[in-house]
Structure 1
Amino acid sequence: MTSPYAQDGYRVAFDWSPIGAAEVRGDLVAVVDVLSFTTAVTVAVDAGIEVLPYRWRDDSARTFAEQHEAALAVGRGQAGDDGISLSPVTIRRARVRRLVLPSPNGSTICQQLSDSGSTVLAVSLRNAAAAAAWVATKLAEDPSLTVVAIAAGERWKDGSLRPAVEDLWGAGAFLAALADSGAGPLSPEARAAAAAYRDVAGELPTLLHDCAGGRELTQYGFPEDVAIAAEVNSSRLVSILQGGVFKPVE
């Protein structure tokens, strides 16, 4: 029996978190973690840096980085003036070729999906339109393909999912652009995400700064990260996970 949560019968779907990514399968999967993993990926790819997602920031991440001849991003508070972290500001000024980028949300989902057979895209507000245009072309070429947008969300202190509105908007921007291209049908969940983005599109980046995630980063001293995340459709590159590495699609 098909799971009632799989959004079966719809070509374009939407869900949340690693659990949603496991439940709602797609040939093309857009992972969205606006503050800040997928924004960081798009900034890196724009700068010609290859990104290797990794689940944990621990000794195993250090070993992984060494094995792949890559720099390892540290925690935001550990980066100092010249280190590299999940902060897009530090990535924008980095001079490295490869970067291991751990994060408990977006990076974890991408690594989870890396061996699933799906094509994984890193999508943020910065490249939502470009990613949607590329996906729309793929859908037109192959009527059997399906696409899912997965909003990473955040975590409460007890480990439970905190739906992050910035990820809803990022996924919604991608889904709304797909709908405008004629792709579909969209599942009810995907339609709701697209509608959420359309409702605020004219008020970004102000609302991104004022949502809980934006306020949190600002309080921690990273308002520039929020500003970079709010560079709506500033990137024309589509970031695809290829062999465990995010690179621009050719």
Structure 2
Amino acid sequence: MSDEWFLQTGHGVRFEWGPEGARRVGAHVACLVVVDVLSFTTAVTVAVEAGTAVHPYAWRDATAAAYARRVGARLAVGRREVTERSPWSLSPAALRRAPFTPRLVLPSPNGSAIAAAAGEAATVVAASLRNASAVGAWLARHGYGVRDRPVAVVAAGERWPDGTLRPALEDLLGAGAVVAALRERAPAVTPSPEARTAAAAFTGTPDPAAAVAACASGRELRGGGFPEDVAIATELDAASVVPVLSGGAFSSRPIADRN
């Protein structure tokens, strides 16, 4: 069986799930949009809004600390490990309260791992419900979404205890919001059936914020004592930043910039 069928070839806008989906489509598109609503890409929008360059990294371990030292960045800690000396974490709420740092290494086994693995093979953008419209406008402005300039929107998903992918509603809605925004601004784009269905999931959800708050991942975060993270993640189109990966870090690009 040919991998071609799974690359959604012939379509300018593609949709996939998780690290493996990103690996398969990433080498065959001009742009890869990573969506990890709870919470990597939401955290990226918060940090980038403050002027921080965010370095994605797959794991929070000794190698992450060494990498942070090498690039001259602070290392984000776990949500429950925030202290006065280490106030930066994957929690968007903690990042809003933390003092400014020019560079931050933000490990995450889902969205951050996908972004770090994608590297510079394609233009990599971080999207969430907070900045979906801005990302859609930026993609349209740069001509992404047509057959000779394809874009793949990848929902990061979560992981089951055995490490396998758990598709996550919040990331489906975030990815769908990006596709819907791109289609609205560039009607000539050619979405795959997968991308069209992701967009329909978002546009067909009467209250996406309520859906994210009530879904499994939202309940997990709220039950774990982080309701503010869910609230920030569901600030629909509150952010105008478009975080683009360059030189190993995400920083904001204006919608009208040129590649």
Identify the TM-score tier after normalising by the shorter chain.
over 0.9
Could you say if the C-alpha distance between residues 141 and 19 of structure 1 is closer, same or farther in structure 2, counting changes exceeding 3 Å? closer
The letter of the residue matching 1:18 is P
Aligned equivalent of 2:240, options 232, 236, 240? 236
Q: Which residue of 2 aligns with 1:146?
A: 150
TM (norm. structure 2) is 0.92
Q: Match of 2:154, SS?
A: strand
- 2:20 paired with 1:19: yes
Worse-superposed segment, 134-143 or 97-106: 134-143
Which digits, 9 at most, give the CA deviation of each residue in 1:208-247, with x for residues without a partner? 1101110000011000000000011011111000111100
The letter of the residue matching 1:190 is A
- Matches of 1:178 and 1:73, distance apart in 2: 32
Q: Which residue of 1 aligns with 2:47?
A: 44
- 2:77 paired with 1:74: yes
Identity within the alignment, %: 50
Q: Which residue of 1 aligns with 2:5?
A: 4
TM (norm. structure 1) is 0.95
- Matches of 1:242 and 1:15, distance apart in 2: 22
The letter of the residue matching 2:42 is T
Contact 2:79–2:89, Cα closer than 8 Å, also in 1: yes
Q: Which residue of 2 aligns with 1:180?
A: 184
Contact 1:39–1:229, Cα closer than 8 Å, also in 2: yes
Aligned residue runs from structure 1 range 144-223, under 5 A: 144-181=148-185, 182-200=187-205, 202-223=206-227
- Matches of 1:76 and 1:141, distance apart in 2: 36
The letter of the residue matching 1:10 is H
Contact 1:136–1:183, Cα closer than 8 Å, also in 2: no
Find runs of 4+ consecutive structure 1 residues off by over 2 angstroms. Answer: 140-144
Aligned residue runs from structure 1 range 117-128, under 5 A: 118-128=122-132
Q: Which residue of 1 aligns with 2:94?
A: 90
- 2:58 paired with 1:55: yes
Aligned length: 248
Worse-superposed segment, 140-149 or 23-32: 140-149
Tell me how large the CA RMSD over aligned residues is.
1.6
Could you say if the C-alpha distance between residues 195 and 141 of structure 1 is closer, same or farther in structure 2, counting changes exceeding 3 Å? closer
- Matches of 1:130 and 1:87, distance apart in 2: 22
Shift of 1:144: 2.5
- Matches of 2:145 and 2:225, distance apart in 1: 45
Contact 2:173–2:208, Cα closer than 8 Å, also in 1: no
Contact 2:12–2:146, Cα closer than 8 Å, also in 1: no
Unmatched segments (≥5 aa) in structure 1 = none
Shift of 1:130: 0.3
Contact 1:2–1:8, Cα closer than 8 Å, also in 2: no
Which digits, 9 at most, give the CA deviation of each residue in 1:43-91, with x for residues without a partner? 0001111100001100111111111111100111111466211000111
Contact 2:12–2:145, Cα closer than 8 Å, also in 1: no
Shift of 1:140: 6.8
Worse-superposed segment, 90-99 or 234-243: 90-99
